[in-house]
Amino acid sequence: MEKFVIHGGKPLHGEVTISGAKNAAVAIVAATILCDEPCVLENVPEISDITICMKILSSMGAKVKLEKRNVVSFDTRGITKPEVPYELARSMRASTYFLGTLLGRFHDALVAMPGGCDLGDRPIDQHLKAFASLGAKHELKNGQVHCYADELIGSQIYFDLNTVGGTINAIMASVKAKGMTIIENAAKEPHIVDLANFLNSMGADIRGAGTDVIKIRGVSYLKGITYGIIPDQIEAGTYMVAAAATKGDVIIKNVIPKHLESITAKLRKVGVTVIENDESVQVKVEGPLLKTSLKTMPHPGFPTDMQPQFSTMLTLAEGTSIITDDIFDNRFKYVSELRRMGADISVDGTVAVIQGKGSLQGAPVVATDLRAGAALIIAGLAAHGTTEVENIHFVERGYECIDKKLQGLGADIKRVIVPEIDHVRMSG
């Protein structure tokens, strides 16, 4: 078990390069199951969620090879049994994507109910509804979902709510179905467009990704290609906010500024300078940080995956900020940890009220999920004194080499092994 030890209070300076997008990569790696030839993915982030996806593929008989750093080749033709090992599926939310891809290829899929970050109840009813529209049945047996169909027939899928995972699974299951599928009230996140671009480059016929109506004409064969995954908008946003919270000056490279618009707009609102270039953004702070209010929304609104980091920054601003995040039930779990660092935040259900106090002080804290962990690291970087962030395995699910990237920006952050005796104390 490891933790990060951060000596804070130093503005971040310099350049950082953003890795491939976690939420695009987990979908695209799972989608290699649909490819009828070997394919190669570039800009694959080196994070534990991707390691799990690759283990799932290998365990089912696929050949997965790291060609060089961030470049991985996949040959999934050897998969014969459409069943994801139970423990691997349970360790990650994105394992649900194997339901869509295995169903799309084999018309049969057996996958454990997913795990991942505990953000409250995360049902998959909309995914199952989409599969049912295509003609698949499902049953729940011993904690596993079994989906199966004689054949999948294109149909109309109407989502009752905006679901990223449901939209991705509906695309994957219908890309080789017979005839036309129309997905209405589809999610519009950049990773959905990236998945559609990947599948279209292989020969799929998907139109409208990035809008709320996606039309998919089923095809029977997908050819092998080499494809580069888009940069991670949330990793980029996290470094933007880290630069702002430490009152630094950072150039964030390998980004698509359009994907960062909602984050850029909010940072400008709180007095941060953001300069957009073609493939980079520069973030610097020259004056005080100002209060603001925000509500998380599906893309192109402000992303829930940036709420903990942004709220943390607002504890350093002047005045009262109000944050509403109702996309998941449980996205304010980091607040009690932040209070240990002197933050003044009260939470009532899905609304947090932050009384900005201008500073934080270092403390031992525990990450409760991926973005909570990122928020606590930002808090530690901005705080006076020493912060120890435990449970960093959550952070490693989605941030490639975060300690090394921050060290490159001048941060004093170290990875330290937690001695066995401390484990006992922590779990007692």
**Interface with ligand EPU includes 125 (CB under 6 A)?**
yes
Q: Which residues in the 269-328 window bind ligand EPU by CB under 6 A?
A: 303-305, 327-328
Member of 206, 343, 398, 400 binding ligand EPU (CB under 6 A): 398
Q: Which one of the spans 60-68, 122-130, 204-212, 237-245 is the region binding ligand EPU (CB under 6 A)?
A: 122-130
Burial class (CB in 10 A: 0-12, 13-18, 19+), 7: middle
Opening angle at CA 21, ends 147 and 36, nearest 5: 50
**Interface with ligand EPU includes 166 (CB under 6 A)?**
yes
Q: Which one of the spans 104-112, 120-128, 335-343, 417-425 is the region binding ligand EPU (CB under 6 A)?
A: 120-128
Q: Which one of the spans 135-143, 150-158, 162-170, 420-428 is the region binding ligand EPU (CB under 6 A)?
A: 162-170
> What angle do the packed helices 97-106 and 22-31 form, to 10 degrees?
20
Burial class (CB in 10 A: 0-12, 13-18, 19+), 223: exposed
Distance CA(12)–CA(272), nearest Å, equals 14
**Interface with ligand EPU includes 89 (CB under 6 A)?**
no
Q: How far is the CB of 117 from ligand EPU (least distance, A)?
A: 5
Instruction: Judge contact between 131 and 147, C-beta under 8 A.
Output: yes
Nearer to ligand EPU (CB atom), residue 5 or residue 297:
297
Strands 364-366 and 273-276: unpaired
Member of 10, 77, 122, 291 binding ligand EPU (CB under 6 A): 122
117 is catalytic: yes
Nearer to ligand EPU (CB atom), residue 112 or residue 164:
164
Locate 31 and state its tokens.
Answer: 């989608």
Sheet holding 137-141, edge to edge: 108-112, 144-148, 137-141
Instruction: Judge contact between 180 and 217, C-beta under 8 A.
Output: yes
Q: Catalytic residue among 35, 53, 117, 147, which? A: 117
Q: Which one of the spans 100-108, 140-148, 160-168, 216-224 is the region binding ligand EPU (CB under 6 A)?
A: 160-168
Residue given tokens 């004194």 in the structure block: 385
Instruction: Judge contact between 227 and 24, C-beta under 8 A.
Output: no
Summarize as ranges the residues that interact with ligand EPU (CB under 6 A). Answer: 22-23, 26, 93-94, 117, 122-127, 161, 163-166, 187, 303-305, 327-328, 370-371, 398
Active site residues: 117
